[in-house]
Structures are given as C-alpha cells and as structure tokens.
C-alpha cells in the first residue's frame, strides 16, 4: 500500500540539487548581472579532475547520496513499521488505480510516481557532480531509487495492514523511466514541470501529534501538477518585446487532487482535475540570482522550486470533480 511517496522523497532529493538547465545558462549569457561573480570551472564541474583517487568533493557527494537513501529507509520504518508485527505470510494486495473506491483515490500512486521521479533525478544529478558519465550515473540513480522503494513494498508484503502492491511497483518504475527521459533530454526539463503542490490539510493539522505526524499520507493537502513553462517558448527579456515578458514567468497545465480520503476518510471523498496557472518561481529566481548564488546554492534553489510549489504562487481557474462512476 503506497502511503509514502512524494513528500519525503521530494525533500530528500532537494538536498541533492541539479545542474543548471540550458534555459538558465542561456539567460546568464544573454543578460549578465553587473558586478556578479562568475562560476568557476571547479563549480561548473566539481567532480572532474585529472589526478588519481577521489577528491574530497566526490567523497562528500558519495556519502551524501548514501545518507539520503539511508535516511529515507529509516524514516519509512519509523513511521509505518516500527510498531507492527510482521506476518508469517507474504501478502499481495491489488489496490487498483484511480477509482473512487480505492483507499486514496489514486493520489498514492501519483505519490509513488513523483517520489521515484524526484529521487532518481536528484541522485543522478548528485552523481553527475561527482564526475560520473550519463550511463553509469543513471544506472546507479535508478538502481538506488528502485531498491529503496522495492524494500518498502517487500516490507508491506510482510504486514497484513498493507500488502505488496503491484500497482505501486508500476508507478515506481514509471517514475524511474520519466526521470531518465528528463535527464537524457534536457529540453523536456526546460519545457515541463512535474511537481507537488502541498498545503497541510485541516484534518492533518488536527492530528499532528506523535505517530499521527505522517505527512506522507496527507493526500487531502496535496495536488500533483504537470505544467508547461512559458520560458520555454518566450526568449529572455532582451530578445522579446516588453509585452511578452510576463508570459515568460507563467506556467499552465493540469492538476490532480483528492480530498477526504486521507488522512481521514470523510463521507463523500472527492477526486478532482483542475486547470492550473502558476508563477514560474524557478525562472524568476534564475534571472534575478543566477550569477549571484554559488553553484550549490543555485542548484538547490532550482531543484526545490521545480519540484515543490511555493504557497500562494498557484491558482486554479477551473476545477472539475470526477464522478464516482
């Protein structure tokens, strides 16, 4: 049963931080900020060196990668399994996908997808900073992330409360594959955002005590978004008419959310699709701060603003409830 997914892995992957995208680099070349410090060669490619052995940076990156995945494993054990007694049998449970009668209305499956997507990309980009080439770093990133989530499902299979979910595994692998595509084709990353919009639900706030502080299941506060970036189509300001500048900082797309499934099942739970219009905070900060932040700070900022929506930067001009049948 997929309870954990987007929230922890997005926060963990944020610590890994990506490389700057082509769009950000292009802006830096077109509109340099006066007096700003430029990126050094070591900052641009911190993992590459000509001497034998590991650099201090490579060792630190490797330890950080292991630590993030280890912390994820400890967190899932503490939240879900610590007080449970394993079953003598291995249980397989077919949970379904997005049906009204599923336990989370499909939000759990999108959580698995987005969690695997973000953790795979974050791990890949951290390994890139250590100097690994695309094929080995993507193999390692996918392998580490797949193993982390596989261990969750295997533990689920030994607990009667959960059960091993084939649907979860499909969502996990889909997240891995989409992350790989975004890493191999940067134009996808420049054009699209896959992200989580989260504001704690009232039901969750009322239950944030002790073992009830399970943010990974607060699906009533989550919306999963697929957005198209205006910056992909509108060039930097010095190359476009002033009337088009604002379009560069807008994103538009679709969102999916459930309300009243988790953390508390309500009498009439809701699944909904919405049109989403959002401020592209990532592009805005890129153009304001690109040459003023050190490489690691910039990568951290870019990754966080790409995968987690900041509060009050998104509106839903249209939202439609999905009928139960």
1 falls within a domain: no
- Closest residue by Cα to residue 84 from 162, 193, 9, 24: 162
pLDDT in tens, 232-268: 998 887 777 877 888 999 999 999 999 999 888 888 9
241 falls within a domain: yes
44 falls within a domain: yes
31 falls within a domain: yes
Separation of alpha carbons 64 and 15, rounded Å? 9
CB atoms within 10 A of CB 146: 18
pTM of the model: 0.80
Q: What is the pLDDT of residue 320?
A: 95
301 falls within a domain: yes
What does the chain come to in residues? 325
pLDDT in tens, 25-53: 444 444 333 333 334 434 444 444 444 45
pLDDT in tens, 144-186: 999 989 988 888 888 777 888 999 999 999 999 999 999 999 9
Hey, what's the torsion of the CAs at 149, 154, 158, 159, to 10 degrees?
20
Q: Name the domain count of the chain.
A: 1
Q: Which domain holds residue 158?
A: 6-321
203 falls within a domain: yes
242 falls within a domain: yes
Separation of alpha carbons 295 and 224, rounded Å? 29
264 falls within a domain: yes
């Amino acid at each position: 049963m997929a309870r954990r997914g987007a929230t922890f892995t997005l926060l963990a992957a944020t610590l890994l931080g990506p490389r700057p995208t082509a769009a950000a680099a292009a802006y830096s070349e077109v509109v340099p900020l006066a007096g700003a410090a430029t990126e050094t060669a070591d900052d641009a490619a911190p993992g590459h060196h000509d001497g034998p052995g590991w650099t201090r940076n490579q060792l630190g990156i490797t330890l950080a990668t292991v630590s993030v995945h280890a912390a994820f494993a400890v967190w899932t054990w503490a939240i879900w399994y610590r007080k449970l007694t394993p079953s003598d049998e291995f249980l397989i449970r077919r949970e379904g996908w997005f049906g009204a009668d599923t336990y989370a209305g499909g939000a759990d499956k999108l959580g698995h997808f987005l969690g695997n997507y973000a953790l795979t990309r974050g791990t890949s980009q951290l390994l890139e900073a250590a100097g690994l080439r695309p094929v080995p770093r993507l193999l390692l990133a996918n392998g580490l992330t797949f193993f982390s989530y596989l261990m969750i499902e295997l533990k689920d299979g030994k607990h009667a409360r959960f059960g091993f979910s084939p649907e979860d595994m499909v969502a996990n692998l889909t997240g891995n594959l989409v992350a790989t595509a975004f890493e191999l084709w940067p134009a996808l990353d420049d054009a699209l955002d896959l992200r989580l919009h989260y504001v704690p639900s009232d039901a969750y706030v009322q239950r944030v005590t002790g073992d009830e502080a399970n943010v990974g299941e607060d699906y009533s506060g989550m919306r999963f978004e697929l957005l198209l970036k205006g910056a992909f189509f509108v060039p930097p300001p010095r190359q476009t008419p002033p009337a088009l500048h604002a379009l560069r900082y807008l994103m538009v797309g679709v969102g999916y959310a459930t309300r009243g499934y988790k953390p508390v099942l309500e009498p009439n739970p809701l699944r909904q699709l919405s049109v989403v219009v959002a401020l592209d905070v990532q592009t805005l900060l890129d153009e304001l701060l690109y040459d003023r932040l050190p490489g690691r700070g910039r990568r951290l900022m870019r990754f966080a603003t790409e995968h987690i929506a900041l509060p009050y930067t998104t509106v839903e001009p249209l939202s439609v409830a999905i009928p139960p049948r």
